Structure 1
Amino acid sequence: MVQIWLVEFLKGAGKLFLHPVLYYLVFLSGILGVIRVKRERKNFHIRAQDAYFELRQLFPLGIFLGLILSLMVVGTGLTVPFAAIVLIAGFTVLWSLTTNIRWMSPAYTVSATFFAIILIAHNNWSFSLFPKAFAALDELVYPSIVIILGLLLIAEGILIVKNATKGTSPKLVKSKRGQVVGVHEVKRLWLVPLFMLVPGSALDLPFSWWPVFHLGANEYALFLVPFAVGFQQQIKGMLPSEAIGQHGRQVVGLGIAITLIAIAGYWYPIVSIVAATLALIGREALAYIAHIRDVNQPFYFSKKNNGLMIIGIIPDSPASKMELKVGEVIVKANGIAISDEKAFYEALQKNRAHCKLDVLDTNGEIRFVQRALFEGDHHELGLLFVQDGHKFGKKTG
C-alpha cells in the first residue's frame, strides 16, 4: 500500500511538467518583467528591479502553500473530475488574454470552471478534444471544486500579504491638473501546485471513510496541477505595503468564509452554487473597494516643498544599505536643506567620501542616516524621486 502511494505521488508530481499552464506562467512572468523594466527606464532612466524579478517570485512561496493545501486536499479526499482540471487550464489562458493579471485569480478561473461544468452536464455537451473526460460528468454540482476554490483564495491572500508588498514598481503619471506625480504598481503571478484526486485506476480506497468528498468511484489517481494566482493593483494614496497588505488580509478573510460555506455544499448542493457566486462577487468587490478607496485619496508620492520624497530604491545600492524606505522624505543632505534633485546632488558633491542625510520617516519623525561612499557606488545613491515635468516620458539611449 505504501509503495503504491509513493509511486503514485511521484507519477502525479511528474504530470506537473506535462501541464501547459506551468510553462505559460513562466512565459508570462518573463513578459511582465520586460514590460516593467522598459517602463521604469522610460520614467527614471534606470530600472528598479531586474527583468527576472517577477519570474523569481513565481515559485517559492506558492510551492510551500501548495504543499500545505495538498495535504489538506488529499487527506480529506477532495476529489474532482478530470474535466475540471482541463477547464481551469483553459480559463486561466482565456482570462490572461484580457491583459488584466488579477483575472487569473482562482476566484475567476475556478468559479468559471464550476459554472461551466453545470452547463456542460445539464446540456450533455461533448468535446472532441477530451470526449471521455466530459462524458464522465454525471453530476451537475461538484462541491469539492468550491472548497478548493476557498482554499486557493486563502493562499492568494497570503501570497498578496507576504510577497506582493515586495518590489512594487514606481511609476510616473500625470494628475488631473497636469502635474507629474508618482504611484506604485504591482503585477504579480504565482504558481500554486496542488495535488488533486481524480477518478482513475491507481489507488484503492485505503479507508471506508476516504475520500470524504468522493465522486462515486472506487479508485483514484493523483495529479499535481499548477494553479495560477494573479494579482494586480495600482496605489496612489497610501504606502504600497499598507494598501496591499490590507487588500491581502481581506482576501484571506473571503477565502475562509467561502471555504466554510462550501463545506455545507456536501449536504446541500445549492449552497455550493451560492458559495461560488459569493467568491466571484466578493473578489471583484474587494478589488473595486480598494480602487475606490485609493482614488478618493490625494497622491501620496508628489513633490514636497520641504524635501524630496523617495518613490523607489535600487536594490543593493547605497540607499538600500542605508536602510532608506519608500515614502520617506530627505530634507537635508550633508547639512544642506534641499527642495529638488539638483540641490540634492549638488549637496552630495560637497563630500564625495561620506553622505549624511536628515530624513523624515513615514511617521513624520526625523532620523539621521549616514554612510561612507566608495568608488563604484551608484552616483545617485540608488534613489528614485518624482522627477521634474520636463523629464517625464523622456527615453534613454
Structure 2
Amino acid sequence: MTTDWLSACLLGLGKLFLHPLLYVSIAYCLFIGYLRVKRERRDFNTKIYRKSMELRALFPQGVIWGLILSFLTLASGIVIPLAALIIVAAVTMIAVLTMNRRFVSPVYTMGVTFFILFFLYDRDIQLPIFQDAFNQLNQSVYPTLVILIGFLLIAEGFLIVSNGSKKISPQLEVSKRGQPIGVYVSQRIWLIPMFVMIPGGELPAPFEWYPVFSIGEVYLSPIVVPFLIGFKQKVHGTLPEQAIRAHGKKVGALGFVITAFAVISNWYPLLAIITVVLALLGREFLHYSQKVSDAKLPFYFSKSKLGVQILGVIPQSPADKMGLVKGEIISKINGIVVREEEELYRALQINRAHCKLEVIGNNEQIRFVQRALFDGEHYELGILFVDDQLKESGQAG
C-alpha cells in the first residue's frame, strides 16, 4: 500500500512538467523582465536589474508555499475534480494574456472557475475530450474550491510581504502639474506547485476521513498542479517597502477570513457562493483602497529643497557599496551644498579620489558616508535621480 502511494506520488510529481502553465509562467516572467529592462533603459539609460530577475523570483518561495499548502490540502482530505483543474488552467491562461499581473491572483482565477463550474453543474453540455472529467462533478466541489481560494490568498499575502518589495525598479512619470516624479511598481509572478488529490485511479483513500467533502468510497490519484499568483502594485506616496508589506498583510488577513467561511460552507453550501463573492469584492476593495490612499499622499520622490533625493541605487555600484538607499537625500558633498544633480557632479569632480557625503536618511537623521573613488567612479556612482526635465531617456548617476 505504501509503495503504491509512493509510486503514484512520484508519477504525479512528474506530471508537473507536462503542465503548460509551468512553461507559460517561465515565458511570462522573461517577457516581463524584457519590458522592465526596456523601460529602465528609456528612463535612466541603464539597466538596473537583469532580465531574469522576475524569473528567479518565480520558484524559490513558491516551492516552499507549495509544500505548505500540499500538507494542508492533503491533511484536510480535500479532493479537487479534474474538471476544476482544467478550467483553472484555462482561466489562468486567459488572465496571463491580459498582461495585467493582478488578474493572475488566485481569487480571480479560482473565483471565475467556481462560477463556471456552478454554471456547468447538472447541465447537459457536451464537451469533447474532457466529457468524462466533467461528468464527475458534484456539489461537493464547491466548498473545496473555496477552501483552496482561502489557502492561496494566505500564501499570496505572505509572498507579497516577504518578496513583493524586493528588487523593484523605479520609473519616471510626469505629475498632473507637469512636474517629474519617481514611482515604484512592484510586479511579481509566483508559481506554487501543489499536491492535490483527484478522483479516479486505483488507490483507495489513505485515511478514514478521506475525502472529507465527498460521500461514498472514492479511489484517488495524487497529482502536482502549478498555481500561479500574480501581483502588481504602484506606489508614489511613500517608500515602496512600507506600502507593499502593509498591503500584503491585509491580503493575508483576507485569506484567513475566507478560509474560515469556506470551512463552515461544508455544512451550509449556499455560504460557499457568498464566500467567493466576498473574496472577489474583498480583494478588489484592498486594491482600490490602496490605490486611493496612495493617490492622496504627496509625491515622495520629487524635487527636494534639502538636496538631491535618491530615487534608486544600481546594485553593486559604488553608491550601493556606500550603503545609500532610495529616499535618502544628499545635502552636501565634500562640504559643498548641493541642490541639483549638476551641482552634485561638479562637487564630485573637485576631489575625484575621495568623496564624503552628508546624507539625510529616511528617518530624517543626518549621517556621513565616505569612500575612496577609483578612476571614473565620480561619473558612475550608480545613483538614480528624478531628472529636472523628464526627457525621452532619463539619466543615471
Q: Provide TM-score, normalisation by structure 2.
A: 0.96
Q: Is 1:347 equivalent to 2:310 in the alignment?
A: no
Mapped partners of 1:152, 1:350: distance in 2: 56
Supply the AA of the counterpart residue of 2:167: G
2:219 alignment counterpart = 219
In 1, the alpha carbon distance for the partners of 2:153 and 2:195 equals 16
- Is residue 212 of structure 2 the alignment partner of residue 237 of structure 1? no
Shift of 1:375: 4.5
Partner of 1:92: 92
> How far apart are residue 393 of structure 1 and its match?
3.9
Q: What is aligned with 2:16?
A: 16
| SS of equivalent residue, structure 1 residue 123 | coil
- Show the 5 A alignment for 1:175-324: 175-214=175-214, 216-324=216-324
Give 1:202 shift. 3.6
Q: Alpha-carbon deviations, 1:50-88, whole Å to 9, x = none?
A: 111111110100110110110111111111100111111
Shift of 1:135: 1.8
Matches within 5 A, 1:53-68: 53-68=53-68
Separation in 2, partners of 1:287, 1:221 = 37
Contact 1:333/1:344 (<8 A) preserved: yes
- C-alpha contact (below 8 Å) 2:77/2:209 kept by paired residues: no
**Structure 1 vs Structure 2: percent identity of aligned residues?**
47
Contact 2:158 2:252 in 1 (8 A): yes
For 1:336 and 1:23, locate their aligned partners in 2 and report how far apart those are by CA, in whole Å: 54
After TM superposition, give the deviation of residue 266 of structure 1 in Å.
1.1
Instruction: Give the superposition deviation at 1:348.
Output: 1.6
Q: What amino acid is aligned across from residue 252 of structure 1 in structure 2? A: G
TM-score using structure 1 length:
0.96
Q: 1:332 aligned to 2:301?
A: no
Contact kept in structure 2, 1:37 and 1:47, CA below 8 Å: yes
Whether contact under 8 Å (2:140, 2:214) holds in the other structure is: no
Secondary structure of the equivalent of 1:206?
coil
Provide the residue aligned with 1:119 in structure 2: 119
Which residue in the other structure is 1:128 paired with?
A: 128
Q: Distance in 1 between matches of 2:247 and 2:108?
A: 17
> Structure 2: where are the runs of 5+ without partners?
none
CA distance in 2, matches of 1:282, 1:131: 34
Secondary structure at the counterpart of residue 302 of structure 1? coil
Contact 1:16-1:226 within 8 A present in 2 as well? yes
Mean Cα displacement is larger for which, 273-282 or 384-393?
384-393
How far residue 179 of structure 1 moved from its aligned partner, in angstroms, is 1.2
Using the alignment, how far apart are the partners of 1:176 and 1:122 within structure 2?
53
1:159 aligned residue = 159
User: C-alpha root-mean-square deviation of aligned residues, in Å?
Assistant: 1.7
> Are the counterparts in 2 of residues 41 and 395 from structure 1 also a CA contact under 8 Å?
no
Q: Quote the offset at 1:215 in angstroms.
A: 6.1
Q: How far apart are 1:377 and its partner, in Å?
A: 4.8
Cα distance in 2 for partners of 1:373, 1:215 equals 73
**Alignment check: 8 A CA contact 1:117 1:140 kept:** no
- TM-superposed CA distance for 1:164, in Å, is 0.9
Please state how far the C-alpha of 1:48 moved relative to its aligned partner: 1.6
Letter paired with 1:121: Y
Match of 2:359 in 1: 359
Q: Is the 8 A contact 2:143 2:269 kept in 1?
A: yes
**Do residues 39 (structure 1) and 39 (structure 2) align?**
yes
Aligned-partner SS, 2:364: coil
Residue of structure 1 in register with 2:52 after alignment: 52
CA 390–140 in structure 1, closer or farther in 2 if over 3 Å, else same: closer
Superimposed CA distance per residue, residues 198-224 of structure 1 (whole angstroms, 9 cap, x where no aligned partner): 002142122222232336452111111
Deviation at 1:394, TM superposition (A): 6.1
Q: CA deviation at 1:300?
A: 0.7
SS at match of 1:127: coil
Match of 2:350, SS state, is: coil
Higher alpha-carbon deviation: 341-350 or 293-302: 341-350
The superposition leaves residues 244-285 of structure 1 with CA deviations (integer Å, 9 ceiling, x where unpaired) of 011000000000000011001111111111111111111111
**Is the contact between residue 235 and residue 243 of structure 2 (CA under 8 Å) also seen in structure 1?**
yes
